[in-house]
Structure 1
Amino acid sequence: MKKILAITAFLCFGFARAQKPAEIGLITDNDLYTSPVNDQYYTAGTTLFYRYLSDKSNDKLAKKIYDFRIGQYIYNPQSVRAEDINVNDRPFAGYLFGEFGINYFYSDESVLKLKVQGGVVGPEAGAEAVQRGLHKVIHYPTVRGWQHQITTTAAAQLGAYYSHKVLGNRFKEKVDFHLLGELNVGTIWNSASIGGMMRISLKRPLEAMYNSSLHNSVLNKDKETYKDHRELFLYLNPNLQYMQYDATIQGSHFNDTSPVTFPLIPFRFNAEVGVKYRYNNWNYSYSFNYRGKELSNNVISGFYYGSIQVSYML
């Protein structure tokens, strides 16, 4: 509970600072958003976020946005009846975190995102209680086997994301292409990925990346620009990931007390396909996410989940 209060206080600091153009919203991930029978591996996630626009900009930097988040991720084996440790084809794990990020949006439509996370993996993350409560509400079977979850490890993460526009102004400014890379290092994940991004407008010419909801950069000093403004597009993001370490699968760097762990498959193919819609002060999105096979055993496979985001610009 003390950790949760500390993370909440961390977010409130952002609220207090941000008497500026700001956005508040919710991201919810669940494998049930893609299939009513799919309930495994990365099974659910909830993130609350608050971001605000900095005053600082120049000829090269179109916008700088500060981002505060608090979230929880939940991981399960394939079977919800996993009292028997031998049917745990992926460890149970929960991750509770707070995050602070600085996002730079450049006039050439490049994007640089930097973030720091702190939190905990283990029983203190509260994943078991949240999942039991959710399954009770929707009348799903109680998940059994949380006694085998990854044991406590403190989370300290750094991350960087960069996107660069390589092709634009195609098909009457309704399609563009970007190359991107991401790096994460810390006590929970060490990973690197590289891939591509394509936007396809379904309504009007694409917004510049520093005004698009793709990377959450729609905040503007002139709030009148939100009125009667629409943005609707599809996006595709295939990428190749190298994962060097994952505490939710391998257990902590600092102890070997987790009852179920597995070696990683380091190289994976991942993909995300989604649609984003913006009208006035509201932003909405849905995405289908595929993740390649993560670890070595004879049962596990690649998996998929859906993600829904709703936000409002204050």
Structure 2
Amino acid sequence: MLEKSITMEKKKRKSKKALFAFLILTVTLTFGQGKTTEIGFISDNDLYTSSKYDMYYTNGLELFYRFLSKNNSEKINKEITEFRIGQYLYNPRFLNKEAITINDRPFAGYLFAEVGKSFFYQSESVLKTDFQIGFLGPNAFGEELQEGFHKLIGYKKVYGWENQIHNALGLQAHVIYSKKMFLSKHNDFVDLHWQSEGNLGTIFSEVSTGFMVRFGFKKLLPIYDSNMHNASVSANEQLNIREFYFYAAPSVNYQFYDATIEGSMFNDTSPITFDLEPLRFNAEAGLKYRHNNFNISYSFLYRGRELNDPGIDTNSGYFYGSIRMGFLLR
């Protein structure tokens, strides 16, 4: 009887050890794995900078899903694939009923779906490419969204959408290249990057070049792990990751074509169009923060005068705010 009790006690101890080992393994697998996917949104609005200004690029909303892709190159730290859907809205300066015939920019809406691929190199250079398909014009439902949103929040009614740019198919290719400068002079809290980008398609065609600088309130993460270019996803375990920095990115932009201003390249039926102001100065600055699985940022963006409006001559440079939030998942 005594031997039987001892045997049962040993079995209980083994069971407890096995259970404990299982729990340790479960916790390790759950919290020790990298976060290889990220979901989130980007919200742009001129009201994020001032309630006084509601004009030109007035609202943008994007939803994204990105994940770590297989990488077989020693020169590349990681590859990321991304999917997005989004909508952009554009208004003239004056939206009241009395000024319905005074337009210093066409009304326009652009609705799109996007797929992209990003390559983050060990040298901290970045190459991002993406392709879009979408609709410009009434098929983008810009009028319905803006009027519905203004009504929901009790904001002023918008007049003039009957003059919006007519329907056009959007096919876009976009590329960004960024290169870290002064690699031999490493600083934990400051870095400088030269970056250029280009758009080519039936809606936007333009090129830009400029610099981006980061000033870290904490030690800066390498660009291939930073949320600066959306590289937070990782196959490796990242414990207690924190990132907090200010960045600024001035650039020179040259516009070749903008269907939201000039109308479709395949017809001239849009009621109001303008010629572009080709060369302009753009700038962006903001704060970006990450704590483990959570990314958030606020950016202030300035865009130089984008068109010529003879006879009205009220079009000018403008600014808007951008809020981004992302959540990392296994």
**TM-score for both structures, normalised by structure 2:** 0.86
Q: Are positions 1:30 and 2:30 aligned together?
A: no
CA deviation after TM superposition for structure 1 residue 206, in Å? 1.1
Q: Name the residue aligned to 2:284.
A: 272
Q: Is the 8 A contact 1:75 1:94 kept in 2?
A: yes
Counterparts of 1:82 and 1:235, CA distance in 2: 40
Instruction: Specify the structure having the higher radius of gyration (Cα).
Output: 2
With over 3 angstroms needed to count, the CA separation of the structure-2 counterparts of 1:234 and 1:21, relative to structure 1, is same
Deviations 1:44-63 (A, max 9, x none): 00000000001214320000
Partner AA of 2:198 in structure 1: L
Partner SS for 1:49: strand
Counterparts of 2:322 and 2:139, CA distance in 1: 25
Percent identity at matched positions? 50
Which stretch of the first structure deviates more once superposed, 92-101 or 162-171? 162-171
Q: Are positions 1:189 and 2:204 aligned together?
A: yes
Q: Name the residue aligned to 1:213.
A: 227
Q: Is the 8 A contact 1:170 1:176 kept in 2?
A: no
Q: Name the residue aligned to 2:159.
A: 144
Partner SS for 1:221: coil
CA deviation after TM superposition for structure 1 residue 142, in Å? 1.0
Match of 1:174 among 142, 166, 189: 189
Gapped runs of 5+ residues in structure 1?
1-19
Q: Is the 8 A contact 2:100 2:159 kept in 1?
A: no
- Which structure 1 residue ranges, 4+ long, deviate > 4 Å from structure 2? 82-85, 168-172
Match of 1:62 among 56, 77, 88: 77
Counterparts of 1:59 and 1:34, CA distance in 2: 43
Deviations 1:1-59 (A, max 9, x none): xxxxxxxxxxxxxxxxxxx8110000000000000111000000000000000121432
Deviations 1:176-233 (A, max 9, x none): 0000110111100110010000011012x211110001000011113x41x4210000
Partner AA of 2:141 in structure 1: G
Counterparts of 1:89 and 1:163, CA distance in 2: 34
Q: Name the residue aligned to 1:230.
A: 242
Gapped runs of 5+ residues in structure 2?
1-34
CA deviation after TM superposition for structure 1 residue 86, in Å? 3.0
Partner AA of 2:249 in structure 1: N
CA deviation after TM superposition for structure 1 residue 167, in Å? 2.6
Q: Name the residue aligned to 1:251.
A: 263
Match of 2:55 among 13, 31, 40: 40
Q: Name the residue aligned to 1:108.
A: 123
Deviations 1:83-120 (A, max 9, x none): 75531110000000000000000000000001100000
Q: Name the residue aligned to 2:177.
A: 162
Counterparts of 2:59 and 2:308, CA distance in 1: 22
CA deviation after TM superposition for structure 1 residue 133, in Å? 1.3
